[in-house]
Amino acid sequence: MTNLMNVSYDTQIPNNVGLSSDKRVLKALEKWHPGYINWWKDLGPNGFHESQVYLRTAVSVDPKGWAKFDYVKMPEYRWGILLAPQVEDRRIPFGEHLGEPVWQEVPGEYRAMLRRLIVIQGDTEPASVEQQRFLGATAPSLYDMRNLFQVNVEEGRHLWAMVYLLQKYFGRDGREEANELLRRQSGSDEAPRMLGAFNEETPDWLSFFMFACFTDRDGKMQLESLAQSGFDPLSRTCRFMITEEAHHMFVGETGVGRVIRCTCEAMKEAGITDPYDINAVRELGVIDLPTIQKKLNLHYTLSLDLFGSEVSTNAANAFNAGIKGRFRETKIDDDHQLKNSTYPIMRLRDGVIVNEDVPALSGINMRLRDDYVRDASGGVRRWNAIIEKLGIELELKVPHQAFHRQIGEFSAVHTTPEGLIISDDQWKDRQLEWLPSKEDGEYIKSLMKPELEPGKYAGWIAPPRMGIDNKPGDFEYVQIQDS
Residues of this chain that interact with Fe ion (CB under 5 A) are 125, 155, 158, 216, 245, 248
| Nearest-angstrom CA–CA distance, 406 and 306 | 10
| DSSP strand pairing (342-349 vs 52-58) | unpaired
- CB of residue 242 vs Fe ion: minimum separation in angstroms? 9
| Nearest-angstrom CA–CA distance, 78 and 57 | 7
Q: How would you label 349-384 residue by residue, b for 16+ Cβ within 10 Å and e otherwise?
A: eeeebeebeeebbbbbbbbbbbbbeebbeebbeebe
| Nearest-angstrom CA–CA distance, 252 and 257 | 8
Tell me whether residue 248 or residue 367 sits nearer to Fe ion (CB atom).
248
Burial of 181: CB neighbours in 10 Å, binned 0-12, 13-18, 19+: buried
Q: What contacts 73, CB < 8 A, 6 or more positions away?
A: 49, 50, 51, 52, 53
Tell me whether residue 222 or residue 293 sits nearer to Fe ion (CB atom).
222
- CB of residue 246 vs Fe ion: minimum separation in angstroms? 9
- CB of residue 42 vs Fe ion: minimum separation in angstroms? 20
- CB of residue 210 vs Fe ion: minimum separation in angstroms? 13
- CB of residue 458 vs Fe ion: minimum separation in angstroms? 24
The sign of the CA dihedral 78, 84, 86, 91 is negative
Q: How would you label 433-457 residue by residue, b for 16+ Cβ within 10 Å and e otherwise?
A: ebbbeeebbebbeebbebbeebbeb
Tell me whether residue 241 or residue 292 sits nearer to Fe ion (CB atom).
241
Query: CA gyration radius for the chain?
Result: 23
Q: What contacts 434, CB < 8 A, 6 or more positions away?
A: 294, 297, 399, 403, 404, 416, 417
| Nearest-angstrom CA–CA distance, 320 and 338 | 9
Tell me whether residue 125 or residue 130 sits nearer to Fe ion (CB atom).
125
Tell me whether residue 122 or residue 363 sits nearer to Fe ion (CB atom).
122
- CB of residue 268 vs Fe ion: minimum separation in angstroms? 34
Tell me whether residue 211 or residue 460 sits nearer to Fe ion (CB atom).
211
CA 115 remoteness from chain centre: 20
The sign of the CA dihedral 125, 131, 135, 137 is positive
Tell me whether residue 197 or residue 353 sits nearer to Fe ion (CB atom).
197
- CB of residue 215 vs Fe ion: minimum separation in angstroms? 8
Tell me whether residue 245 or residue 451 sits nearer to Fe ion (CB atom).
245
Q: Do 267 and 275 meet the contact criterion of CB atoms below 8 Å apart?
A: yes
**Amino acid, res. 393:** E
| Nearest-angstrom CA–CA distance, 195 and 305 | 9
- CB of residue 78 vs Fe ion: minimum separation in angstroms? 17
Q: What contacts 225, CB < 8 A, 6 or more positions away?
A: 324, 325, 326, 327, 329, 368
Terminal-to-terminal C-alpha distance of the chain: 43
- CB of residue 411 vs Fe ion: minimum separation in angstroms? 26
Tell me whether residue 125 or residue 200 sits nearer to Fe ion (CB atom).
125
Tell me whether residue 242 or residue 280 sits nearer to Fe ion (CB atom).
242
Task: Provide φ and ψ at 7, rounded to 5°.
Answer: -105, 135
Tell me whether residue 115 or residue 248 sits nearer to Fe ion (CB atom).
248
- CB of residue 43 vs Fe ion: minimum separation in angstroms? 16
Q: Do 299 and 306 meet the contact criterion of CB atoms below 8 Å apart?
A: no
- CB of residue 120 vs Fe ion: minimum separation in angstroms? 13
Tell me whether residue 123 or residue 125 sits nearer to Fe ion (CB atom).
125
- CB of residue 424 vs Fe ion: minimum separation in angstroms? 36
H or E stretch covering 478: strand 478-479
Q: Do 371 and 242 meet the contact criterion of CB atoms below 8 Å apart?
A: no
